[in-house]
């Protein structure tokens, strides 16, 4: 099942993260907006799958993970299918291919990008925010820390839940809309632990010389090679094609 | 050398004037295991933070190797590194290498030098084949090693530990003290351990004891043993207690 | 009446990998039961299995009434149980568990006050305080009391002394020994020294196997093999020569001094 980064060495892994990120964005835009028909889009989808295969991604696993959006695909097929007068299979197919395209492109992007690359991409995307006095690198660091602590917080919530249930709290029973009071034994300890963690982390960071908005060097380095040129050209082509499809 | 000269400190937030530290003066040398002992609220954690440059004294001066501790990290000279009690809440990076590099990024170390130093310190702490491992996959002991490595890579003149052993199991504790003795013997990095556990006290060679913000004792292990009756509020290590009990019964 | 918790061929796995294989034996009331082992030996998983939270579990868990059902019969406190606080007063915190069981109002308050007193905290002083106002040791006791106020037969604690100062550890360890007289108290710890008396019941988990010891047997084995458990050097030196003695002293200065007096 496709859940995130899978280490590998194929083509997609060797792309510069900015090129990869922006190419993925362009492809997602393509699948969402283009005015080509189901045939052309299926061709594009096949192309995407081919690149993934060449990059030695676990394509079979990824395709199996489509199960997760099966319900969504069904809804889309129905909505799109009834777009004109009565039900048209071609419209339904078009809808399905679009969703699949977005899902698979996003999936392949996440599967080939370790944390460091994702954060670098986000940092560059945040840079325009400097005009609004928002610090790009710091925001990216906030995201890095959030992701790094996610497994820790999840297991902590689990432990709190088990301990409170053993104490007699009724968490998780009582249906989908549990009252706020019954979630207190879970929420308050989780939040107070998170606050303690944040304070200790901030102190530890300061103790290691971190000063907000100071000039910091970078450990990670991303190269730019021939495959990036091809990818950039390809992405530009897709972008132009998307625009042209409107005429 | 660490030097505290008539240092006082208090928190602003408290309504009453509560002094965390009252005119404290002492010095620590390298080559010995220096220990700061005291109960909660005695001021020992404040001392650790003053030396690490996290807080500034209200009066008096705190210097490390002649430089003001509060400028720690400015100008790429890292005076004193501090390692806190819970390793989990000190790890910033997503992978081992990233966390070790964090401090060097903050010091503005150029990338080629950074890469070399990260690799070297990882080797020293037996983490070199784990550089790309996500930190949540590490065991408790490995996380503590990572914390120490991440501070040592910054080449501090002094290393301060705030309650380092309270969450360690006895086997890891033995290894910890062995590593500390090795570090101290090399005489390159000074070591100061803050602890309230009596068994840690048995490892200290130079002891500074605090009570309600005042330095009530400063001297060697043997001097403390002799003065123990005059400091009844300190829990002595069981080893010392036994010595005393056997001594009196002879 | 002694209550007990019995395992018959209990096996626990985690993602298919066996952590505990074929464990049999008993935890009983009247003695303090310890589960000892290095990190990753399955100590915490055993507690979760008893509590019914561990999925990959085979074999039987029985008590003096037959098959053991966890619901309402256990209290489970992980490390730093004071992180579970969410009420404005100590009283509310203790009463919560009884309130969830829909007991009559006056009974809730009476039982809570009595139980708090039993943990060494007089209710007149502590009942209306805010939990975060208390010292570390006091918070720990309130947390443990709040987890067990409904008097479950089995009280399980994972590292209950972690982070406390020396005095706090000593008094809490003594308190647990008292509570153990009426409940099956199971303490998971990687540092059993402070609890060890001749009378303790110890389960050592190592490499998926469990071995049972009495306090003295555990101390004797540790003295024989340093790798088994690293007892402090001063204890080794003092008690080592008398390893053959039936009842070895607890790991504190006064017990060892008394012991040495007797054997000389």
Least CB-CB distance to B39: which of C165, C230, C232? C165
Q: B71 and B53 in contact (C-beta within 8 Å)?
A: yes
Q: Which of residues 57-76 of C touch A (CB under 8 A)?
A: 70, 72, 74-76
Q: What is the pLDDT of residues C156-168, one digit of tens each?
A: 999 999 888 888 8
CB contact under 8 A, C166 and B198: yes
Q: Which residue has the higher pLDDT, A8 or A132?
A: A132
Q: Does B178 touch chain C (CB under 8 A)?
A: no
Among C45, C31, C34, smallest CA distance to C160 is for: C34
B101: nearest CA in chain A? A219
- Per-residue pLDDT, averaged over C56-82, amounts to 87
Dist CA C81 CA C97 (whole Å) = 14
Q: Do C230 and B39 touch (CB under 8 A)?
A: no
pLDDT, residue B103, reads 93
End-to-end Cα separation, chain C, in angstroms: 39
What pLDDT is stored for residue A245 in this prediction?
81
Cα–Cα distance for residue pair B216/B199, rounded to 1 Å: 20
Task: Give yes or no for residue A212 having a pLDDT over 60.
Answer: yes
Name the nearest CA neighbour of A184 among A210, A161, A201. Answer: A161
Q: Are B139 and C254 in contact (CB < 8 Å)?
A: no
Tokens of B195: 């602890």
Residues of chain B with pLDDT under 50: 250
pLDDT of A126: 84
Cβ under 8 Å to B: A residues 150-169: 151-152
Q: Helices A17-33 & A38-54, crossing angle to 10 degrees? A: 160
CB-CB contact of B25 with B187 (8 Å):
no
Measured between alpha carbons, how far is B238 from B244 in angstroms, rounded to an integer? 10
Contact C47, C156 (CB under 8 A): yes
Beta pairing class for C201-206 and C32-36: parallel
Q: How far is CA B135 from CA A143, A194, A202, B95, C22, in A?
A: 16, 18, 18, 5, 33
How far is A57 from chain C, CA to nearest CA, in Å? 25
Which pLDDT tens digit goes with each residue over C182-224? 999 999 998 898 998 878 999 999 888 899 999 889 999 999 9
Chain C contact set for B39 (CB, 8 A): 165
- Phi, psi at residue C54, to the nearest 5°? -95, 120
Q: Nearest Cβ partner of A216 from B86, B97, B106? A: B106
Looking at per-residue confidence, does B170 or C95 come out higher? C95
pLDDT tens-digit series, residues A111-137: 888 888 888 888 888 888 878 887 888
The per-residue pLDDT for B156 is 93
Please name the chains neighbouring A, where neighbouring means 3+ C-beta pairs under 8 angstroms: B, C
Sign of CA dihedral A175, A177, A179, A184: positive
Distance of residue B185 Cα from the nearest chain A Cα, in angstroms: 25
Tell me if B118 and A211 make a contact (CB, 8 A cut-off): no
Chain A contact probe: residue of C86, C108, C156 with most A CBs at under 10 A: C86
* A189 → closest Cβ in C83, C98, C150: C83
- Answer yes or no: do C86 and A170 touch at CB < 8 A: no
pLDDT at B42: 83
Mark yes or no for CB contact B245/C190 under 8 Å.
Answer: no
Each residue's pLDDT tens digit, C107-125: 999 999 999 998 989 999 9
Interface of B to A at Cβ within 8 Å reads 52, 54, 72-73, 78, 81-82, 84, 86, 88-95, 97-98, 101-111, 114-115, 118, 134-136, 150-151, 154
What pLDDT is attached to residue B104?
Answer: 93
Pull the structure tokens for residue C44. 């915490």
**In this structure, what token pair is assigned to residue A225?**
């090679």
Cβ distance A106 to A69 under 8 Å?
Answer: no
**Does B187 contact C at CB distance below 8 Å?**
no
Chain B CB within 8 Å of residue A208 CB:
yes
Q: How far is C66 from chain B (nearest CA, A)?
A: 36
pLDDT number for residue C235: 92
Tell me the mean pLDDT in the region A202-210: 93
Q: Which pLDDT belongs to residue C89?
A: 94
At A2 the pLDDT is 42
Query: Region A149-160: what's the mean pLDDT?
Result: 90
Query: Shortest CB distance from B166 goes to which of C135, C162, C234?
Result: C162
- Which chain C residues are within 8 Å of A164, Cβ to Cβ? 84
Q: Is the pLDDT reported for residue C1 higher than 70?
A: no
Q: How close B171 gets to chain C, by Cα (Å)?
A: 7
Q: Does B40 lie at the interface with C, CB-CB under 8 angstroms? A: yes
Judging contacts by C-beta atoms under 8 Å, the chain C residues touching residue B141 are: 39
Query: What's the CA angle centered on A100, arms A96 and A103, to 5 degrees?
Result: 145
- Which residue has 């561990």 as its token pair? C54
Q: Do A207 and B106 make contact, defined as CB atoms within 8 angstroms?
A: no
Q: Cβ–Cβ of A163/C150 closer than 8 Å?
A: no
User: What per-residue confidence (pLDDT) applies to B250?
Assistant: 47
Contact (CB<8Å) B239/C167: no
Is the overall model pTM greater than 0.95, yes or no? no
Give the full edge-to-edge strand order of the sheet including B33-37: B80-83, B158-162, B190-195, B33-37, B206-211, B214-220
C188 lies within 8 A of chain A by CB: no
Would you call C51 and A193 a contact, using CB atoms and an 8 Å cutoff? Answer: no
pLDDT exceeds 70 at position A186: yes
Asked if C212 has any chain A CB less than 8 Å from its own CB, the reply is no
CB nearest to C234's CB, from B169, B174, B242:
B242
Is the confidence at residue A65, as pLDDT, over 90? no
Q: Which residue has the higher pLDDT, A87 or C94?
A: C94
Query: Is the CA virtual torsion A37, A40, A42, A48 positive or negative?
Result: negative
Give the H or E element holding residue B28: strand B19-28
Contacts of C100 in chain A (CB under 8 A): 167-170
Cα separation of C135 and C94, whole Å? 17
Q: Which of A34-38, A215-219, B156-160, C22-26 has the highest mean pLDDT?
A: B156-160
Question: C138 and C128 in contact (C-beta within 8 Å)?
Answer: no
- With CB atoms and an 8 Å threshold, state whether C234 touches B238: yes
A200 closest CB neighbour out of B86, B108, B114: B86
Nearest to B2 by CA among B76, B82, B75: B82
pLDDT band at A15, cuts 50/70/90? confident
Best residue in B228, B238, B240 for a mutation probing chain C (most C CBs within 10 Å): B238
Cβ of residue B41 closer than 8 Å to a chain C Cβ: no
Least confident span in A175-184, B82-91, C1-10, C33-42: A175-184
Residues A79, A80, A83, A87, CA torsion sign: negative
pLDDT at position A95 over 90 = no
> From the CA of A198, how many Å to the nearest CA of chain B?
8
Scanning every residue of chain B, which has its alpha carbon at the shortest distance from the alpha carbon of C170? Answer: B235
Give me the mean pLDDT over the A203-222 stretch: 88
Is the CB of A83 inside 8 Å of chain B's CB atoms? no
CB A102 within 8 A of CB A31: yes
pLDDT band at A58 (very low <50, low <70, confident <90, very high): confident
Nearest by CB to residue B167, choosing from C40, C162, C167, is: C162
User: Is there a contact between B33 and B194 (Cβ–Cβ < 8 Å)?
Assistant: no
The answer, yes or no, to whether residue C170 has pLDDT greater than 50, is yes
Q: Which residue of C has its CA nearest to B245?
A: C257
C-alpha span between B193 and A82 (Å, rounded): 73
Of A43-57, B46-60, C25-39, C135-149, minimum mean pLDDT range: A43-57
- Collect contacts of A95-99 with beta carbons under 8 A, ≥24 apart: A97/A31, A97/A38, A97/A41, A97/A42, A97/A45, A98/A31, A98/A32, A98/A41, A99/A69, A99/A72, A99/A73
pLDDT at A39 > cutoff 90: no
- Chain A positions in Cβ-Cβ contact with residue B162 (cut-off 8 Å): none
């Amino acid at each position: 099942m496709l859940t995130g980064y899978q280490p590998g060495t194929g083509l997609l892994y060797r792309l510069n993260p900015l090129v990869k990120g922006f190419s993925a964005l362009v492809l997602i835009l393509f699948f969402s907006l283009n005015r080509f028909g189901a045939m052309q889009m299926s061709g594009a989808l096949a192309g995407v799958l081919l690149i993934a295969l060449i990059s030695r991604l676990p394509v079979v696993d990824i395709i199996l993970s489509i199960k997760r959006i099966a319900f969504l695909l069904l809804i889309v097929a129905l909505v799109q299918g009834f777009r004109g007068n009565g039900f048209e299979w071609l419209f339904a197919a078009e809808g399905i291919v679009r969703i699949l395209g977005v899902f698979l492109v996003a999936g392949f992007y996440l599967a080939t990008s370790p944390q460091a690359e994702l954060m670098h991409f986000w940092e560059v995307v945040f840079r325009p925010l400097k005009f609004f006095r928002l610090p790009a690198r710091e925001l990216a660091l906030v995201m890095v820390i959030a992701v790094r602590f996610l497994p820790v917080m999840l297991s902590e919530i689990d432990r709190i839940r088990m301990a409170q249930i053993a104490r007699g709290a009724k968490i998780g029973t009582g249906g989908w809309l549990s009252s706020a009071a019954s979630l207190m034994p879970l929420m308050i300890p989780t939040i107070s632990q998170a606050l303690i963690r944040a304070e200790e982390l901030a102190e530890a960071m300061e103790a290691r010389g971190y000063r907000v908005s100071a000039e910091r060097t970078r450990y990670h380095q991303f190269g730019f090679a021939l495959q990036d040129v091809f990818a950039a050209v390809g992405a530009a082509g897709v972008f132009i094609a998307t625009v042209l499809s409107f005429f | 050398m660490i030097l505290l000269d008539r240092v006082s400190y208090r928190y602003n937030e408290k309504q009453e004037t509560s002094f965390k530290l009252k005119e404290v003066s002492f010095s620590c040398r390298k080559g010995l295991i220096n220990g700061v002992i005291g109960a909660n609220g005695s001021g020992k954690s404040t001392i650790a933070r003053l030396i690490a440059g996290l807080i500034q004294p209200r009066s008096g001066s705190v210097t490390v190797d002649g430089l003001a501790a509060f400028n720690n990290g400015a100008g790429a000279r890292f005076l004193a590194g501090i390692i806190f009690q819970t390793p989990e809440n000190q790890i910033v990076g997503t992978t081992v290498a990233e966390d070790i590099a964090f401090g060097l990024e903050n010091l503005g170390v150029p990338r080629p030098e950074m890469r070399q130093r990260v690799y070297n310190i990882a080797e020293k702490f037996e983490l070199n084949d784990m550089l790309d491992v996500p930190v949540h996959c590490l065991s408790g002991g490995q996380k503590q090693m990572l914390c120490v490595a991440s501070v040592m890579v910054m080449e501090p003149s002094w290393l301060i530990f705030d309650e380092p052993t309270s969450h360690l199991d006895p086997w890891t504790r033995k290894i910890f003290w062995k590593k500390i003795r090795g570090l101290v013997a090399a005489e390159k990095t000074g070591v100061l351990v803050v602890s309230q556990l009596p068994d840690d006290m048995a490892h200290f060679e130079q002891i500074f004891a605090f009570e309600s913000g005042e330095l009530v004792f400063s001297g060697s292990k043997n001097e403390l043993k002799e003065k123990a009756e005059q400091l009844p509020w300190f829990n002595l290590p069981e080893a010392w207690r036994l010595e005393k009990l056997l001594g009196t019964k002879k | 009446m002694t209550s007990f918790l019995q395992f018959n061929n209990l096996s626990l796995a985690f993602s298919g990998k066996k952590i505990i294989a074929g464990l049999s034996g008993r935890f009983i009331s009247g003695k303090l039961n310890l589960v000892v082992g290095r990190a990753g030996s399955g100590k915490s998983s055993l507690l979760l299995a008893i509590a019914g939270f561990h999925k990959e579990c085979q074999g039987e868990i029985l008590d003096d009434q037959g098959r053991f059902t966890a619901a309402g019969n256990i209290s489970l406190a992980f490390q730093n149980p004071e992180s579970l606080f969410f009420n404005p007063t100590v009283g509310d915190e203790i009463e919560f568990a009884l309130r969830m069981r829909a007991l009559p109002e006056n009974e809730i308050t009476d039982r809570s006050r009595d139980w708090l007193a039993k943990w060494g905290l007089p209710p007149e002083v502590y009942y209306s305080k805010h939990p975060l106002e208390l010292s570390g040791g006091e918070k720990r006791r309130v947390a443990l009391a709040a987890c067990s106020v409904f008097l479950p037969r089995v009280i399980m604690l994972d590292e209950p002394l972690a982070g406390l100062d020396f005095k706090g550890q000593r008094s809490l360890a003594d308190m647990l020994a008292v509570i153990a007289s009426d409940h099956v108290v199971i303490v998971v710890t990687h540092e059993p020294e402070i609890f060890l008396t001749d009378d303790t019941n110890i389960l050592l988990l190592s490499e998926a196997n469990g071995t049972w010891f009495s306090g003295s047997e555990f101390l004797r084995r540790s003295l024989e093999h340093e790798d088994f458990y690293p007892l402090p050097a001063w204890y080794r030196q003092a008690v080592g020569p008398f390893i053959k003695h039936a009842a070895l002293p607890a790991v504190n200065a006064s017990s060892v001094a008394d012991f040495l007096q007797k054997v000389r």
